[in-house]
A = this chain, B = another copy of it.
C-alpha cells in the first residue's frame, strides 16, 4: 500500500498573495482577501459541507472542489489558521476554531501547535487533534487517519512553506484568481527552488486551476 498523498489546494492572486494585508481576528483573510475565495463560496460542492443549501452545481469549478473533498481523509493545518489568536488556549476567544459545532471538514484535522491540549471532538465527523512534535509527526498522524484517501494541507502559508521545503508535499493545486491584492502574505517567498511537473490545468471564467506534482 502506498502512503496517502499530501495535497495542497490554495487560492492565490495573480500577484502571488494568499491573504491580503492587515490581517486581524475580525478580518482573518486581510484586506481584499475575500476576493480570493468568491469563486468557491458560490459552489454547491463547497456549500454542502458547510451546511448551506443551493449553489452552482454545474460549473467546472464545482467538480474541481468536489474531487478534492472526495480525495481527503484527513487535514493538517497551522495553529493560526485554526484559531487566529495566540494559541495560549485558555485565553483565546477563538480557542475551538472558527467553525462552530459542525465544522466543514467532516474528517480528522491535525493542528500544529506549541501548546498541547486534548483532542476536541465536533459534530459531523470533524475532530481537532493538536500536534506539538512538528510537521512530520502531524503528517504521520494524518496519514494514519486518512485510510485509503489523501491528506489535505489547509495552510497557512508558513506551514505550507515548511512542508514544501521539507520535501513532504506531493501535489499542489493553485486556484489562480485574476485579482491583485497589492500586499499581504505571499505563498512563494524566500523558498529554496523546488521542481514541479504540470499535471492538469482547468479554466473557468472565475479562476484557473493549476495542478502540479512536486518532484521530491
Evaluate contact between B198 and A180: CB separation under 8 angstroms.
no
Cβ of A125 < 8 Å from any Cβ of B?
Answer: no
Cβ–Cβ contact A212 & B16, under 8 A: no
Query: Could you say which of B182, B191, B198 contacts A192, with CB atoms under 8 Å apart?
Result: B182
Q: Within 8 Å CB of A204, what residues of B?
A: 198
Which residues of A (165-206) have their CB < 8 Å from a CB of B?
174, 176, 178-182, 186, 188-198, 200-201, 203-206
A203 with B198, Cβ < 8 A, contacts A178-B212, A180-B188, A208-B208 known: yes
CA gap between A32 and B194 in the complex, in Å: 13
CB–CB B196/A205 < 8 A: no
List, sorted by A's number, 24 A–B pairs whose CB atoms are closer than 8 Å.
A14-B174, A14-B188, A15-B16, A15-B186, A15-B191, A16-B186, A16-B188, A178-B196, A178-B197, A178-B198, A179-B193, A179-B195, A179-B196, A180-B188, A180-B191, A180-B194, A182-B191, A198-B203, A198-B205, A198-B208, A200-B203, A201-B208, A208-B208, A208-B210
